[in-house]
């Protein structure tokens, strides 16, 4: 990658970028919330658009000179609406959490009741964690998963009837099953609640047609633009037309100031890429790779929450191994695999230690990994965990992961 000017100005930062590129190129990336953007997305994000301040909506700015960024932001909006089948899109949120915050700000008053997925069962911080704005300012009640790692929709209905929330949130940061948006809308309608579908993790799968869409069921849909969508880090809110003005006002001036127009340009590019036939094939391959990884882990004696995945991710359940997610994530990094520690349902360990490891297939699928590669990854993971204190075994496993990386080059 060309860093000629940066090297002249700040060689220290340039050096760390070089090192990070090498790390990405020589590491198998299984963090489920990470992916690799195209070079086109990176070029948009690194463009002169970073210089432009543009508070307000397209064609209704508080600054002059916004004619070009207006058109780019409008492109991103239209592409998001078309891709996800929604009436309105606001592409300004800086993150998925801020997208969720804007929905809260528009719909709720402090103290209003929200029903969301418990963080320890696979939900997200911004779905009501007590340490997050969502749990600090609102009366949050939670649902979780059963022993099979699946949402019990009858339990969700019972909780909705008991708590009478104004907003129900579906979507997760660590849930390996298909989400039934239709059932969630039926539950929301039964208690008079609005429905927010947070599809941050599955947006690319929805766009690629391998996961049902929340369009037509959820009045509000939020997403990040990285993860399976393979764009820059950022957020989008989509909603029914009747809520458009309120959502736009909640984003600006309610929640944030000037939008990041260079990142919005990257979002526009990623949304265009996600509308292609090649992206649909990519989404299908993600699911096939995830299933191959899960089956490979099972074949190598590992346990997975829920037994099998239906999307891009899964959680290794280490409770039978006597080892922790924190320690084993570090061991996997030693053999060239990056993943993150994660709680399992009813985890006996703390969230800082955990009994699980979350694994995702989106990033390696971007590199071109196929099912046979995922089986090899499963072998490496299982044997690293089983032989976590054997340096010779770990060294041989590192050689296997490096060979896989060389087989599928990144950013050549």
Please identify which residue in the block is written with the tokens 């990040």.
224
Look up 198 and say whether it is catalytic: yes
Rounded to whole angstroms, the Cα distance separating 252 from 92 reads 9
| pLDDT band at residue 335 using 50, 70 and 90 as cut-offs | very high
Residue 361 CA, distance from chain mean position: 12
Task: List, for residues 1-13, the tens digit of each pLDDT value.
Answer: 789 999 999 999 9
Task: List, for residues 110-162, the tens digit of each pLDDT value.
Answer: 999 999 999 888 889 898 888 898 989 999 999 999 988 899 999 999 999 99
- Which residues constitute the domain of residue 115? 42-274
| pLDDT band at residue 82 using 50, 70 and 90 as cut-offs | very high
Whether 193 is in a domain gets the answer yes
Q: Are residue 318 and residue 227 in the same domain, yes or no? A: no
Mean pLDDT score, 181-207? 98
User: Can you give the pLDDT at residue 26?
Assistant: 98
**Which of 159, 227, 267, 367 is flagged as catalytic?**
227
Q: Name the residue among 275, 321, 269 with its Cα closest to residue 37.
A: 269
Q: Are residue 262 and residue 304 in the same domain, yes or no? A: no
Q: Are residue 245 and residue 300 in the same domain, yes or no? A: no
Please identify which residue in the block is written with the tokens 């998963």.
145
- Residue 107's contacts (CB-CB under 8 Å, 6 or more residues apart) are 166, 167, 194, 220
Going by the DSSP 8-state scheme, the letter that residue 331 receives in this structure is H
Q: Could you tell me the CATH number of the domain that includes residue 294?
A: 3.90.1150.10
**Which of 224, 228, 315, 365 is flagged as catalytic?**
224
Mean pLDDT score, 338-345? 94
**Which of 29, 73, 118, 198 is flagged as catalytic?**
198
Look up 224 and say whether it is catalytic: yes
Confidence check: pLDDT of 29 > 90: yes
Q: Are residue 314 and residue 233 in the same domain, yes or no? A: no
Token reading at 205 = 């799968």
Whether 124 is in a domain gets the answer yes
| pLDDT band at residue 57 using 50, 70 and 90 as cut-offs | very high
Look up 2 and say whether it is catalytic: no
| pLDDT band at residue 399 using 50, 70 and 90 as cut-offs | very high
Q: Are 141 and 164 in contact (CB under 8 A)?
A: no
Look up 53 and say whether it is catalytic: yes
């Amino acid at each position: 990658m060309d860093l000629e000017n940066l090297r002249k100005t700040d060689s220290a930062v340039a050096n760390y970028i070089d090192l990070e590129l090498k790390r990405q190129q020589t590491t198998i990336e299984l963090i489920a919330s990470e992916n690799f953007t195209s070079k086109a997305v990176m070029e948009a994000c690194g463009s002169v658009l970073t210089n432009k301040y543009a508070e307000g909506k397209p064609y209704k700015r508080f600054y002059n000179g916004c004619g070009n960024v207006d058109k780019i932001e409008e492109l991103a909006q239209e592409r998001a609406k078309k891709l996800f089948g929604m009436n309105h899109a606001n592409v300004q949120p800086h993150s998925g959490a801020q997208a969720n915050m804007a929905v809260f700000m528009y719909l709720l008053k402090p103290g209003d009741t929200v029903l969301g997925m418990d963080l320890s069962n696979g939900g997200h911080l911004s779905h009501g964690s007590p340490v997050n704005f969502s749990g600090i300012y609102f009366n949050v009640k939670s649902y979780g998963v059963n022993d099979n790692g699946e949402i019990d929709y009858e339990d969700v209905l019972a909780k909705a009837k008991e708590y009478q929330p104004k907003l129900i949130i579906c979507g997760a940061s660590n849930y390996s099953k298909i989400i039934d948006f239709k059932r969630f809308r039926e539950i929301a309608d039964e208690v008079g609640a609005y429905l927010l579908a947070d599809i941050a993790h599955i947006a690319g799968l929805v766009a690629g047609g391998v996961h049902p869409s929340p369009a037509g069921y959820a009045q509000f849909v939020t997403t990040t633009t990285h993860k399976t969508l393979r764009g820059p880090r950022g957020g989008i809110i989509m909603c029914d037309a009747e809520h458009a003005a309120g959502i736009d006002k909640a984003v600006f001036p309610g929640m944030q100031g000037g939008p990041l127009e260079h990142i919005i340009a990257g979002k526009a590019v990623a949304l265009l890429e996600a509308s292609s036939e090649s992206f649909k094939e990519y989404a299908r391959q993600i699911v096939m790779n995830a299933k191959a990884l899960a089956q490979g882990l099972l074949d190598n004696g590992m346990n997975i929450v829920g037994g099998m995945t239906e999307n891009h991710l899964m959680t290794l359940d280490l409770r039978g191994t006597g080892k922790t997610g924190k320690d084993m994530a570090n061991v996997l990094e030693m053999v060239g695999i990056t993943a993150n520690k994660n709680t399992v349902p009813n985890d006996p360990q703390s969230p800082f230690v955990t009994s699980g490891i979350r694994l995702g297939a989106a990033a390696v699928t971007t590199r071109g990994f196929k099912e046979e590669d995922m089986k090899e990854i499963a072998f490496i993971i299982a044997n690293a965990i089983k032989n976590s204190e054997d340096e010779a075994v770990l060294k041989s496993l590192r050689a296997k992961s490096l060979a896989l990386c060389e087989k599928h080059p990144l950013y050549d």
